[in-house]
Amino acid sequence: MFIGENLTNLRILHGYSRKQLSEMLHVTEQAVWQYENNYTTPKMQIVNDLKSIFNVKSKYFYKQDVLKRYFENENIPFMNIAYRSKVMNVISKTQAEAKHVEYLDSFVNYLTANLTLPTQKIIQLRDEVINYLNNANDDRKIQINTVAKLARESLGLNNYTNDNLMFLLEKSGIFIFEKAIGDEIDAYSLWTKKDRPFIILGNMKRSAVRRNFDLAHELGHLLFHFKVEFTNLNRTEHKNIENEANLFAGAFLLPDESFLEDLKTVASVTNPDAYIDIKKKWKTSLQVLGYRAANLGILDAKKHRNYYAALHRKAYLKSEPLDEILQIQKPQKIKSMIDLVAKREIIDIYEMIEKDWKVEIPFFHRITGIDVNFFNNYVRYEDNFDLVNFTDISSGSIDQIN
């Protein structure tokens, strides 16, 4: 029997309205509604079209899908997704991204069902931050700087580089994924009701420095804005929260004592080119370097305007020096977990794709951002593959990052 809910889940995941899907299938919008609500069963040709559109097997539509089997209902509070202001209150977009995280949460549940995960450091950090904020009498700027220092220390990020930022965030317990979100969204984040933190990064035309800022910005949301209902905020409230995340990102990426020492080497504080060596050290954009220098009082309002004008004049607001050279950090945690369960023969990845999830490999690429070639290795060599030479994402063992 065709299960209409499976179709609804896939449609929302891809961000299609019923009308858009009906046009792809060359049927009426009413017909799609009837398929989804089990009033009629689509003909086999329609099912074949659906499997091609969504990269699933035909049998995907005739068994309970992965959300029914591996996802706890209402675990993703879509109202708490931390978006940037351009897409605030766009309910259809929020629903699509919430559905995406539902699939990701199901996938993580599937991979970790027979694993014992260590205590998640990010949860301990969040609770420590909440306790501090609830009892602090400092103004908000001091609170943000204090939490930024606490976060670097807790995560094990030293005060001289951001090179291992992605690795340390993943090791702390955050699940980070890439996705072609679109031009309007740089990244977003949320906590599930089961205390699993997600950061979803856009992967379109990103640079290493923009990615680091996105990571730091979303970490700020995870620590400061736990359970904030973003969809209910007005524009002023949303702007204030975004400003807090920006302030945190600057303070987190550029710890004040070390950064102030670096600024002593800058010959002209209003010339962005004078900061290029500092950019290379911290993997942080010239725009953020100027922003942080202004927050620390090195640039007064006039000097900061001159600095920003120079960025504009040199076209650095579009592309900065070193952007094509600095290596972009990419999520590796889930890939390492897949390697682990495969190596220990806990999960047969080929069986997972073909029989458990009933999808095609591009489906996993869409939800995880992992290149299809990674999954192809398991399909191509399903009877004879060796993971001994797979390396982890840093000097630690593969178990350390789970």
CA–centroid distance for 363 within its chain: 18
**Total number of domains in the chain:** 3
Inside any domain, residue 56? no
Q: Which amino acid is at 40?
A: T
Residues 399 and 402: their CA atoms lie apart, in Å, by: 6
Q: Are residues 248 and 261 in the same domain?
A: no
Inside any domain, residue 13? no
Q: Are residues 246 and 382 in the same domain?
A: no
Structure tokens at 186: 């740089």
Inside any domain, residue 177? yes
* Phi, psi of 101, rounded to the nearest 5 degrees: -70, -30
Inside any domain, residue 66? no
* Interior/surface letters 106-145, b for 16+ CB within 10 angstroms, e for the rest: bbbbbbeeeeeeeebbbeebbeebeeebeeeeeeeeebbb
Q: What is the pLDDT of residue 183?
A: 62
Q: Are residues 204 and 87 in the same domain?
A: yes
| Predicted confidence pLDDT, tens digits, the chain (402 residues) | 999 999 999 999 999 999 999 999 999 999 999 999 999 999 999 999 999 999 999 999 999 999 999 998 889 988 888 876 555 556 667 788 899 999 999 999 999 998 888 778 999 999 999 999 999 999 999 999 999 999 999 999 999 999 999 999 999 999 999 987 766 668 899 999 999 999 999 876 679 999 999 999 999 999 999 999 888 888 899 899 999 999 999 999 999 999 999 999 999 999 999 999 999 999 999 999 999 999 999 999 999 999 999 999 999 999 999 999 999 999 999 999 999 999 999 999 999 999 999 999 999 999 999 999 999 988 754 444 333 333 333 333 334 433
Q: Are residues 89 and 162 in the same domain?
A: yes
Q: Are residues 127 and 238 in the same domain?
A: yes
Inside any domain, residue 8? no
Q: Are residues 187 and 322 in the same domain?
A: no
Residues 81 and 77: their CA atoms lie apart, in Å, by: 7
The H or E element that residue 382 is part of is none
Q: Is 115 helix (H, G, I), strand (E, B) or coil?
A: coil
Q: Are residues 258 and 353 in the same domain?
A: no
Domain boundary among 253, 271, 293: 253
Residues 393 and 370: their CA atoms lie apart, in Å, by: 14
Inside any domain, residue 14? no
CATH number for the domain spanning 95: value is 1.10.10.2910
Inside any domain, residue 303? yes
Neighbours of 381 (CB within 10 A): 11
Q: Are residues 177 and 241 in the same domain?
A: yes
Inside any domain, residue 97? yes
Q: Are residues 258 and 240 in the same domain?
A: no
Domain boundary among 329, 356, 381: 329
Q: Are residues 119 and 232 in the same domain?
A: yes
Q: What is the pLDDT of residue 399?
A: 43
Domain boundary among 329, 356, 391: 329
Cβ atoms 248, 221 nearer than 8 A? no
Domain span including residue 380 = 333-401
Q: What is the pLDDT of residue 383?
A: 46
Q: Are residues 127 and 173 in the same domain?
A: yes
How much of the chain is helix, strand and coil, in % rounded to 5?
A: 60, 5, 35
Q: What is the pLDDT of residue 402?
A: 37
Q: Are residues 171 and 228 in the same domain?
A: yes
SS3 labels along 197-235: EEEEEECCCCCHHHHHHHHHHHHHHHHHCCCCCHHHCCH
DSSP letter assigned to residue 285: -
Q: What is the pLDDT of residue 391?
A: 37
HSE-up of 135 (CA within 13 Å, CB side)? 6
Q: What is the residue whose two structure tokens read 């945690």?
A: 333
